């Protein structure tokens, strides 16, 4: 048998070994193509051949080597596909089984309070102004302070010292500027203006259990003819009873704000009040400020204080949430701790 015959026989044997069920491809590769493999052994025998015979044997040897290599690649692909098919078959997913229901979150407790406030005032015929155009968080000094009867040298500004972008541009300290813009646009021939302005405000407060440099506010304003303090008290009583319960009462105490005259601090009863409750047994807690809108404010917003009167108030949803749910640290609202937030269901209870 010539060397060429031996190489051709090796090629046939290699194909047979590769076709065998469960063939170990690495073992076949080493046996035929390794340094001590069958093809190498045959080719080492060419030393006694002539130049022409060496060329012929070498050419056949290369062809057989390439044929075996191609067969190894093809068989490897077949084995990998078979292994993947077996794995997929073993991991078949039964789509008829019920899926894992994702956990649904709730609205943030502060958003729940704000939604409750907005819903109440919408029921009273108020409009809610909270869009970015009419209620920007970056304000001018004119609308944030001067239009609220707080000129640049007014000492009350120190209580609301805030974050300035430029000497005339700042992060708003209250949502009162929204009221000024609404007054400029309102057509009183179509009736009084009744509005609330919810949103975020910013002040240079040191963060602690009861203060934050960023918090929420809902300011309200009613402007029309013959608006009185009685209208203000009735409005505030209705929202306090909406938030805390019908058996809670309010009281008004004289105070001072540059943008209202007269001004009042509003307290809500900590305990429920019935016909049998003695005045000395009522526990009060301050919750907001309010008053009759100052004539200067109306004038600066283009409203004649001789013809129209108004009342205004400012609610703090963060404070209301603390009171309603017994939260002792305002910072809890902003830590995004799911363990804390999960205590409040979709109704805010």
Nearest alpha-carbon partner for 183 in 172, 195, 174: 195
Query: How many angstroms separate the CA atoms of 146 and 135, rounded?
Result: 17
Structural tokens at position 188: 């009183």
DSSP 335: S
Q: Which residue has the tokens 């919408």?
A: 122
Q: Which SS3 state, helix, strand or coil, does residue 216 take?
A: strand
Q: Which SS3 state, helix, strand or coil, does residue 5 take?
A: helix
User: In this structure, are residues 225 and 308 in contact, taking their beta carbons and an 8 Å threshold?
Assistant: yes
Q: Which residues are annotated binding-site positions for Mg(2+)? A: 261
Query: How many angstroms separate the CA atoms of 55 and 46, rounded?
Result: 10
Query: How many angstroms separate the CA atoms of 183 and 175, rounded?
Result: 14
User: In this structure, are residues 251 and 208 in contact, taking their beta carbons and an 8 Å threshold?
Assistant: no
Q: Which SS3 state, helix, strand or coil, does residue 253 take?
A: strand
User: In this structure, are residues 176 and 204 in contact, taking their beta carbons and an 8 Å threshold?
Assistant: no
């Amino acid at each position: 048998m010539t060397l060429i015959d031996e190489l051709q026989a090796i090629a046939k044997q290699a194909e047979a070994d590769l076709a065998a069920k469960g063939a170990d491809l690495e073992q076949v590769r080493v046996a035929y193509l390794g340094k001590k493999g069958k093809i190498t052994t045959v080719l080492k025998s060419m030393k006694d051949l002539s130049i022409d015979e060496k060329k012929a044997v070498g050419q056949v040897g290369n062809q057989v080597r390439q044929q075996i290599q191609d067969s190894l690649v093809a068989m490897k692909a077949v084995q990998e596909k078979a292994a993947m098919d077996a794995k997929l078959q073993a991991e078949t997913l039964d789509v008829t089984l019920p899926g894992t229901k994702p956990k649904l979150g709730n609205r943030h407790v502060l958003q729940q309070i704000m939604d409750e406030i907005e819903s109440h005032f919408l029921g009273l015929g108020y409009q809610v102004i909270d869009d970015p155009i009419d209620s920007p968080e970056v304000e001018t000094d004119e609308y944030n302070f001067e239009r609220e009867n707080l000129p640049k040298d007014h000492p009350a500004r120190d209580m609301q010292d805030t974050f300035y972008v430029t000497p005339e541009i700042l992060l708003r300290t209250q949502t009162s500027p929204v009221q000024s813009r609404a007054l400029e646009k309102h057509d009183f021939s179509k009736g009084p203006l009744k509005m609330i302005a919810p949103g975020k405000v910013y002040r240079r407060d040191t963060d602690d259990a009861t203060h934050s440099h960023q918090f929420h506010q809902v300011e309200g304003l009613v402007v029309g003819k013959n608006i009185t303090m009685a209208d203000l008290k009735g409005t505030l009583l209705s929202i306090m009873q909406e938030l805390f319960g019908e058996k809670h009462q309010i009281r008004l105490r004289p105070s001072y704000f540059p943008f209202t005259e007269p001004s009042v601090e509003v307290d809500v009863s900590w305990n429920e009040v019935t016909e049998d409750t003695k005045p000395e047994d009522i526990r009060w807690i301050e919750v907001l400020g309010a008053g009759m809108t100052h004539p200067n404010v109306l004038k600066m917003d283009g409203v004649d204080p001789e013809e129209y009167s108004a009342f205004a108030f400012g609610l703090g949803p963060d404070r209301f949430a603390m009171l309603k749910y017994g939260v002792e640290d305002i910072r809890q609202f902003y830590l995004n701790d799911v363990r804390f937030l999960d205590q409040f269901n979709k109704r805010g209870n």
